[in-house]
Structures are given as structure tokens and as C-alpha cells.
Amino acid sequence: MADFQDFNLSCPLPIQQYPHVLLAHGGGGKLMHQLIETVFVPAFSNSLLGVRHDGASFAVGDARLAFTTDSYVVRPLFFPGGDIGSLAINGTVNDLAMCGARPLYLSAGFILEEGLPMETLWRVVQSMRQAADAAGVQLVTGDTKVVDKGKGDGIFINTAGLGIIEHSLAINPNSVQPGDAILLSGDLGRHGVAIMAEREGLEFESRIESDCAQLSGIVQAMLDSGIAIHCLRDLTRGGLTSALVEIAESANRQIQIEETRIPVREDVRGACEILGLDPMYLANEGRFIAFLPPAQAEQALAVMNAHSTDTGAALIGTVTDIARPLVMLKSRIGAMRIVDMFSGEQLPRIC
Amino acid sequence: MKFVDEYRDAEGAHALAAAIAEITTRKWTLMEICGGQTHAIVKFGIDELLPPQITLVHGPGCPVCVTPIELIDKAIAIAARPNVIFCSFGDMLRVPGSEKDLFVVKAEGGDVRIVYSPLDCLKIARENPNKQVVFFAVGFETTAPANAMAVYQAAQQGIANFSMLVSHVLVPPAMEALLSSPDCRVQGFLAAGHVCTVMGYTEYEPIAAKYRVPIVVTGFEPLDILQGVLMSVKQLENGRAEVENQYARSVRRDGNLPAQELVGKVFTVVPRKWRGVGEIPQSGFGLNDAYREFDAELRFELTDYTAEESAECISGLIMQGIKKPHECPAFGARCTPEMPLGAPMVSNEGACAAYYRYRRIKAQAA
């Protein structure tokens, strides 16, 4: 009975404000972080979870492994540049890559809605197979559940992944050092705009395709060429901003970036101007930031660009020696300002 | 990006700032009207380039911020009803009413949808003939033509299950209210470029003459705003008080006449309550008699709503330019974007949210 009493003793979540889960709690911004910090972390607290990285890294016997999981709930299921299947493989592969691990094995759990066309499921599964082949991972176990019509959105997929760490680097936010160069692997915001355009029926002059891609190859190439990576983070919900703020907070270091160095494609910028969105907060599915010694920045950029078919990677900023969990941006006209997370998702403005 | 980058050029910005510093001989206080301008000023750090004698205060031009709490409560009451699809621009969803916001209504099962144009609501209404589709028509003169068009088309096409909760406000009456207050310290205005794109700027000419204030119709990019400041300061230093147009690439003196005609067809000028400011006579649009059947307040019989604003929130003083956001004791402590006491902390274009997001540390240091 003692176990049950504990449950009622305290409620750290400020429920007077949000007695229900809001969509914004899943937006990758502050509300989601509050949810994690007040509900999940206290419940499951342990040293591996405490690192707050994209996955957990640990030793089993002589081997160092990385383990991660992610769920995929995208609407529409198929969008320019990808679909929920490729997303479900690449997202989990990328989380392993961000731990500096070589992805080996994936699981997949499918929650299917009654009435889903078999043809749709088939297309998604084929896309998963292709993405898994490209990333060199095997899907070795799985699960399927079907829910009543109206209780799901076609397909929800969960994947978990296991990877092996074949180097002695500790790639996580705690390894970030003052003076570290911050590299961004390519242009920002295409996934977010592609999804929004497809979902809302917005039409632009050119079709903007998602940047959805696996990042394992590019990270392996960086490791193989001897770059002493300190930290990696892929940019998903919440965009570049959330990734930078999370790392600044974990490392307790002030980060400084320059607006003019951040690559954003013309069509994405145009869409953002029209909708009143900031590319710094848009979702990406094939981009990451790397923290590494400044002396290796040039070499790392060359490796990244050799792997990328898109707009090039860029050096966007540095880690300062100020012990303060803050991201500062030098604006286009030379003034400094704070970069902060949004509460939930960006909201298109009125005028 | 063509037609945007030119107006964000660092060299050009510094040249304009130098020109302002050169002609400034004493202290001047200017107010930018529009929340979009406030956002750009804080986001790009435009005020940091100005000489210390120039103070920019942030005006009441954020439609989200000035919508009174009673109206948010009405929106929430409508949205919570079964058989209603409640449509709104995104940034209204997180504005707190007396007890909750529209996001919470959505989480509780209300059908609340974000739309990008009021015309999208007509499509939703046609596709859902058994539901009432309501659009939350908030905004200044800028959004009035599109909202008028939605009502006009609904009438033309006989879309009877569509209605609008209207909270339109107008810039010139608010400027007059500010200027006639004894606390007013504003000496010149940057008028809102997009409002003037629709309405033109003839309405501002008598205000400039009556109150002896320069009014410069100004755009939204860094170089627009700096040039607007330069033109205002030039007038002040020379003792002039005229209406000038910095945003000539978008604004003509008479504005957009077909848009004005449509607005005139559907709306009539009414008194409106402004959040934090109070009622201002003849300061908004309501649906006129010919289109009253599309008025959601009447259709859902929502009259006599009253609500108390947070006693701690000083949004009225902020929107009148009397105080800066970080001078509020609740700023960043009991009032944050996650837990806003008042609307200026919610909207992207609210002065408090802009200060919180972009210069929290500086505000602490100040």
C-alpha cells in the first residue's frame, strides 16, 4: 500500500494551469520541456536519463551501446520529400547517430486505424525498407495493433534503435567546451514548410521538399576522419533554436551565433515571410548541429559538404566562456539579442 | 531575398542611424503604432542603433493585445458548444480569457481550428452544413477587407451556417485617445504601414494638425523603421508637424479604394472597448444592419459579458507608452509567455512578449 500512497503525496505539475494535455505540450518548446521535467524525469530518474541526450549511451560487457526511441505521428502520411515510413527510420537512426553510434538494429511498433487502405500500409512499409537499407540497419522485431476507426490518424509508428559506439569520445552536452565551433549541417526549415504547405493546402511557386534524410553516414565520415566531436544534436521539432537552447542549458554555457551565417533557402524564407514564421524554429528531419574543437572546424565542414547534396554546411557560431545557459544572436544589422524557445509551436500571425 | 534583403542591409542601417544622430539636438519620444514594428525593432535590435536622446515607445497596434477579455470569453463560450467549428488566426488561441484559453477548449473536445484566411471558413461551412462555423474576426483596418469579403460572399452564396465574432479596431481613434490623455509623452508617431495600405493616410492629416505631432507612415523592415525615425526627428527638429509617407512602395494617400468600398458595405463604425485602455468612442468596426444575421454575438445570444482583467497587469500603461514592459513588477516573474497575465505577453507582436523573448537579460540588468 505504501507504493500507492506515494502517488498521491505531491503533484509537481502546475495543474491549476493545464489540467489537460495540450497539443503545445508536444511542440518541442518550453511546455514540452516542462512536461518532461515535471512528469517524466522525476518518475524515472536515473543517471542515463539525466544526461538528457537524444538517446542513452552505456556499456554492456566490453561494448558501448546507444539506445533510443521515437514515435511518429505526421499528417499527411506522405509529403514532398518523404513519408511517415522514411521518417520513422531516419528519425531513430539520426538519434543514434547523434550519440556517435553506428546504428545496428531497429524495432517497429505499428498502431493502425481500422479502415486504413492496405495499399497505404504497403507503401509506408516499402519506404521503411528502403530507408533502413540506405542507413545500413536491420528491422529485427516489431508489433502491430489496430484501433477503432476515428481513434487514430491512419498510422502511428514507434521505432526504437540500438547502435554501437566504436570510439572513445563522449559525445553529449556535458562535453561542450568554451571556444567550441558550432557547425550546422545544411539549410533550415524545409521539413516544417513542406508539411505546413501540404497540410494547409498552401501553394508556393516552387514545391518545397522535406529535408528528411539519414545522418548516420555523415557522422560516421566525421568520426572516421578523426574529428573530435564534443556534441551532436539533430534539429527536429522546435528547430535550431530548441537544439541550441537545450545544449546551452545542459552545458551551462552561453552560445553565440550570427544570423547572417545561418543558411535558409530562398523559397523557405519567402514562405516564412508570408506566414510570419521564423526559420530558426521550423522543424527539420535531416539537419544537425555539431560542437567541436575550433581547429577542426574547416576539416569538419569539408567532410560535411562532401556528404551533403544540399546547400552547404556552415559555421554558425561559437561557445563562449561565460557560464550562463543562454543563446545570443548577432542580428543582421549587428545588434545582439536573446534566442529563446517558443512555448509550444509557432503560431501564424494575424497580419 | 529580393525586396526584403535591401531593407535589412547592415551598412544602410548604420548610415541611417548616423544621419539620425547627426540631426538630433535634444530628447524626443516617438511611438511606433504597430505590433509588427515593435517586433522588428526588438528582434533586429533597431533601437540599439539610435542615439540615446531618442526613445521609442510601443503603441497599441497589436490586435491580439487589445482584444478585451470579455470577447475572449465569448469566443471560448462559442467554441465550447457542440456543433460549432470555431476558426481563428493562430495567435488568438493562447490569449487567456477569464478562466482558460482556446487551446484548452480544444483539449477539452471543442472543434477549434487555425485558419490562414477568413475565406477558408466559407469552405469549411459548405463542407459541414450541419455545423455552425464561426470566425473570430480580430484585427485593425489591415484585416478588415478580407473579413468583409468573407461575410459578403457568405451572403451572396447563402451560406447560412457561417457567422463572425467581430472585434475590429481602428488606429486613428486610438491615436486621438492617446494624444488627448494628460499623461501623453509621445511627440511623434510612426504610423502602421499596412493599415495605411488599405485606408490611406488622409485620416491622419487632421490629427497631425490638431495635436501638432509629426506622423510618418512607416514600413516594417529595419531600414523602413530607421528612415521613419529619421523623417520624424527631422520634422521635430524643424518644428514641423505633418503627415509624411516613408512606405511609398506600398501606401498611397487614398489607400486601396475597392477594399475600402467593400469594408464600407459590410461594416459600420462602432464604439469598442480596448483591453487595458477602456472604451474608445467610434474606434472599431461592427457588422452593419444589412449583415447583422452573420453576427455571432447575436446568433449565439451572447450579451452582457463582463470580466475582470488581472489587477496586476499594467498592459494599459504599456500600450499607452507610459511604461516599458520590463518596468512591470510581474514581468518575467509572475507573467511569462507560458503563464501570461495579460495579452501583450501572449502575442508574437505584443510588446511584453517581444521584450521577454529577445532581451530578458538586458531588462534584468537595467
Query: pLDDT digit string (tens) for A250-295?
Result: 999 999 999 999 999 999 998 888 887 899 999 999 999 999 999 9
* Chain B residues lying within 8 Å of A333, measured CB to CB: 8-10, 13-14, 44-46, 49, 222
Q: How many CB pairs under 8 A join A and B?
A: 111
| B349 reaches A (C-beta below 8 A) | yes
Contact at CB, B114 and A336, closer than 8 angstroms:
no
The whole-angstrom separation of Cα A332 and Cα B9 is 7
Per DSSP bridges, beta strands B132-139 and B111-114 are: unpaired
B88 residue type, one letter: S
Please give the CATH architecture assigned to the domain spanning B5-63+182-245. Answer: 3-Layer(aba) Sandwich (3.40)
* Chain A residues lying within 8 Å of B46, measured CB to CB: 333, 335
* Chain A residues lying within 8 Å of B9, measured CB to CB: 333
In Å, how far is A289's CA from the nearest CA of chain B? 22
| B366 reaches A (C-beta below 8 A) | no
B114 residue type, one letter: I
Name the band, by pLDDT with cuts 50, 70 and 90, for residue B23: very high
Dihedral sign from CA coordinates of A303, A304, A308, A311? negative
Tens of pLDDT, residues B315-349: 888 877 788 898 999 998 888 887 788 778 877 67
Residue of B nearest to A29 (CA): B338
pLDDT at res. A17:
62
Most confident of A112-121, B88-97, B114-123, B312-321: A112-121
Q: Give yes or no for residue A95 having a pLDDT over 50.
A: yes
Contact at CB, A348 and B90, closer than 8 angstroms:
yes
As a whole number, mean pLDDT of residues B32-57 equals 92
Which residues make beta-bridge pairs with B295?
B164
Range in A39-43, A218-222, B1-5 the model is least confident about: B1-5
Per DSSP bridges, beta strands A63-72 and A155-165 are: antiparallel
* C-alpha separations of B134 from B67, B118, B262, B289, B362 in Å: 17, 10, 20, 19, 42
Domains of chain A, by residue range, sit at 13-44, 58-166, 173-339
As a whole number, mean pLDDT of residues B83-90 equals 94
Tell me the CATH number of domain A173-339, given options 3.40.50.970, 3.90.650.10, 3.40.80.10, 3.40.50.1580. Answer: 3.90.650.10
Residue with the larger pLDDT of the pair A198 and A58: A58
In Å, how far is B13's CA from the nearest CA of chain A? 7
Which residues make beta-bridge pairs with B190?
B32, B216
CATH topology of domain A58-166: 60s Ribosomal Protein L30; Chain: A; (3.30.1330)
pLDDT at res. B310:
78
Residue with the larger pLDDT of the pair B294 and A30: B294
* Chain B residues lying within 8 Å of A266, measured CB to CB: 1
* C-alpha separations of B16 from B8, B23, B53 in Å: 12, 11, 16
Q: Give yes or no for residue B163 having a pLDDT over 50.
A: yes
Residues 6+ apart with CB under 8 A from B101: B72, B76, B93, B94, B95
pLDDT at res. A11:
38
Domains of chain B, by residue range, sit at 5-63+182-245
Q: Give yes or no for residue A5 having a pLDDT over 60.
A: no
Q: Give yes or no for residue A7 having a pLDDT over 80.
A: no
* C-alpha separations of A110 from A78, A147, A160, A232, B213 in Å: 16, 10, 12, 29, 66
Most confident of A218-227, B94-103, B347-356: A218-227
Grid look-up 576539416 returns: A299
Q: Give yes or no for residue A16 having a pLDDT over 70.
A: no
Tens of pLDDT, residues A286-337: 999 999 999 999 999 999 998 876 668 999 999 999 999 999 999 999 888 8
Tens of pLDDT, residues A135-174: 999 999 999 999 999 998 899 999 999 999 999 999 999 9
* Chain B residues lying within 8 Å of A340, measured CB to CB: 356-358, 360
Q: Could you give the ipTM of this predicted complex?
A: 0.79
Per DSSP, the three-state class of B181 is coil
